[in-house]
DNA sequence: TCCGCCATTCTTGTATACAAGAATTGCCTG
DNA sequence: CAGGCAATTCTTGTATACAAGAATGGCGGA
């Protein structure tokens, strides 16, 4: 799964066990679309995904829908309850923090390797990615900033020059996507995020691997006041406590 | 997926998207068994997994076999080539090293958290797990040692008290299982592995988190002479270069 | 003899059928 | 009126059927 600067953001949601995706199975296409709906909040955590209903919506039989749900289930996006159907996985605040901690560790590793391995051209490209965020910051558009921010983070994964690490980081990033977006809705978070990015860029570009690793870890980890912020965002987004499980 | 000391080793290969596994689907059981065969080297990397053949072997229809292969595919154990069948995922030496690097990072995080968070009883239990390996070392039985070694590593994941991290580490451990086994076949590796384990236990039990993290990282990472050893093991196990892809 | 093309066979992908377990509703009882 | 039991309905899990694409083998030509 090679990264390119022109890569469309919609690519980032893909669930692909397939090798060559020229003629993918219906199940894979469906997994992408259902996963997209979940990421966009169309299906809230805990809500049931009815096979027949989805089959009718997409105009296919139950078989590929089932296979799609199994893919999403193995990826952790939905939870398969044997003989009781699939539901969107509910993520407790506790678990969310755990996931962010692991994300921080992976990104930290990426940043360290990026500082150690990236070429001068790659570092310039990274700086360009960062600069591209400035517009979104000035217009204070969290959604636009989220997209550019995402590309920036993914660029760092890529600069690790460890393809497997990049894949793992992308996969986790995908699962955390809805929540990372929420985080940016907190007042002034966009501005502080942007400032933190700059520090990361500086560390990577000067080859300061320890610094780069620590800075991005601090940037990603949900700690202190940011935990309370996240809780508040979750409560608002879920329209009630049920969504938290 | 709660860990218990009495947990049977056969549990360690499970591919479980299911919530409660009291009445699992056939597909999940099949995924476990097929995954076990792959881990044990019954199916070599690159070899094809025929749906009908597997169905007949297990006395079921193609449907649950297909679903099992999809689960294994999403987990990365097999590669699904659309309309061309499933094959055991081929891992190049390059990629294998990348995977071990990520495994080292995750285990390092586990060990650090274990040193920080584990209780006195838990530390005692970990030491007991380590002591249990001594028999296998003395009899120099790599396969037996592998099993106890695996339990030891998984115990550390559990002591991290980060369930998500534990799951991720277990999943990657599963993918690396066949190769970790191979590594132990190298002369004297069992002995050195055991010695390294002891150092890790000491660090965790004294709460030396940095030391614990570094020691287990060094233990897991494939570096220096061990890379050549691994290459040699791969070549022998694969009965030729084709198995490496 | 070797390469390439076509027909055949086989395998996978999707749809449908059927069975078994879960959820629901209504009724009966306390 | 509430709680629990039972029959019904619905959903999932597995098996089978069918169609379309891939692999294979044989034939013909260079």
From the list B75, B26, B79, the residue with the least C-alpha distance to B54 is B26
Best A18, A88, A110, A164 residue to mutate vs chain B (most B CBs within 10 Å): A164
The structure tokens 């003395």 sit at B138
pLDDT for B245:
34
Domain co-membership, A127 together with A50: no
Q: What is the ipTM of this complex?
A: 0.88
**pLDDT above 50: residue B243:** no
pLDDT for A139:
86
Q: What is the mean pLDDT of residues B36-46?
A: 92
Can you list the residues of chain A whose pLDDT is less than 50? Answer: 1-11, 239-245
From the list B111, B107, B103, B140, the residue with the least C-alpha distance to B222 is B103
Domain co-membership, B101 together with B155: yes
Domain co-membership, B128 together with B193: yes
**pLDDT above 60: residue B12:** no
pLDDT for A13:
57
Asked which of A88, A119, A145 is the last residue of a domain, the reply is A88
From the list A209, A200, A196, the residue with the least C-alpha distance to A109 is A209
- Count of domains forming chain B: 2
- Across the interface, whether the CB atoms of B165 and A95 are under 8 A apart is answered no
pLDDT for B13:
56
C1'-nearest nucleotide to the CA of B50: C11
Domain co-membership, A221 together with A138: yes
CATH number at A78 reads 1.10.10.10
The shortest C-alpha distance from B141 to chain A (Å) reads: 32
pLDDT for A178:
81
In contact, A12 and A154? CB cutoff 8 Å: yes
Q: What is the mean pLDDT of residues B39-56?
A: 95
Q: Which of residues 5-34 of A touch strand D (CB under 7 A)?
A: 23
From the list B124, B133, B112, the residue with the least C-alpha distance to B195 is B133
Q: What is the mean pLDDT of residues B110-126?
A: 97
Which residues of A are less than 8 Å from B70 in CB distance?
17, 27, 67, 70-71, 74
Q: Which residues face A80 on adjacent strands?
A: A86, B18
User: Is residue A2 domain-resident?
Assistant: no
User: Is residue B4 domain-resident?
Assistant: no
Through-space separation of residue A61 CA and nucleotide C24 C1' in angstroms: 26
Domain co-membership, B118 together with B219: yes
Asked which of B51, B70, B88 is the last residue of a domain, the reply is B88
The structure tokens 């699962």 sit at A175
**pLDDT above 50: residue B117:** yes
**pLDDT above 80: residue B5:** no
Alpha helices in A118-224 (DSSP H): 120-131, 134-138, 142-159, 163-183, 189-205, 209-220
- Across the interface, whether the CB atoms of A95 and B164 are under 8 A apart is answered yes
pLDDT tens-digit series, residues B137-186: 888 887 888 889 999 999 999 999 999 999 999 999 999 988 888 888 88
pLDDT for B46:
93
Query: Residue B67 CB closer than 7 angstroms to strand D?
Result: yes
Domain co-membership, B154 together with B213: yes
Out of B17, B102, B164, name the one closest to residue A164 (CB): B102
**pLDDT above 60: residue B11:** no
Total residue length of chain B: 245
Domain co-membership, A133 together with A226: yes
Positions in chain D where some atom is under 7 Å from a protein CB: 11-17, 21-23
Q: Which domain covers residue A38, as residue numbers?
A: 9-88
Through-space separation of residue A80 CA and nucleotide C22 C1' in angstroms: 15
Domain co-membership, B99 together with B58: no
Domain co-membership, B124 together with B214: yes
Through-space separation of residue A59 CA and nucleotide C16 C1' in angstroms: 15
pLDDT tens-digit series, residues B197-240: 999 999 999 999 999 999 999 999 987 778 888 888 888 776 43
Domain co-membership, A177 together with A193: yes
* Burial of B35: CB neighbours in 10 Å, binned 0-12, 13-18, 19+: buried
Domain co-membership, B138 together with B229: yes
User: Is residue A234 domain-resident?
Assistant: yes
Through-space separation of residue A68 CA and nucleotide D12 C1' in angstroms: 15
């Amino acid at each position: 799964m090679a990264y390119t600067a022109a890569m469309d953001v919609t690519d980032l949601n893909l669930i692909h066990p397939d090798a060559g995706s020229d003629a993918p199975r219906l199940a894979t296409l469906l997994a992408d679309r259902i996963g997209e709906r979940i990421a966009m909040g169309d299906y809230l955590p805990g809500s049931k995904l009815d096979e027949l209903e989805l089959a009718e919506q997409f105009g296919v039989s139950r078989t590929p829908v089932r296979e799609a749900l199994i893919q999403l289930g193995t990826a952790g996006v939905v939870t398969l309850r044997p003989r009781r159907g699939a539901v969107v996985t509910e993520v407790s605040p506790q678990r969310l923090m755990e996931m962010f901690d692991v994300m921080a560790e992976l990104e930290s590793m990426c940043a360290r390797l990026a500082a150690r391995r990236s070429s001068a051209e790659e570092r310039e490209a990274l700086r360009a990615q960062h600069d591209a965020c400035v517009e979104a910051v000035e217009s204070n558009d969290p959604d636009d900033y989220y997209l550019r921010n995402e590309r920036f983070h993914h660029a760092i994964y890529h600069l690790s020059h460890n393809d497997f690490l990049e894949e793992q980081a992308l996969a986790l990033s995908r699962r955390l996507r809805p929540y990372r977006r929420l985080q940016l809705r907190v007042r002034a978070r966009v501005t502080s995020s942007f400032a933190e990015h700059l520090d990361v860029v500086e560390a990577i570009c000067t080859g300061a691997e320890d610094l780069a690793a620590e800075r991005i870890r601090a940037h990603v980890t949900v700690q202190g006041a940011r935990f309370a912020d996240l809780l508040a965002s979750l409560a608002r987004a879920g329209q009630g406590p049920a969504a938290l499980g």
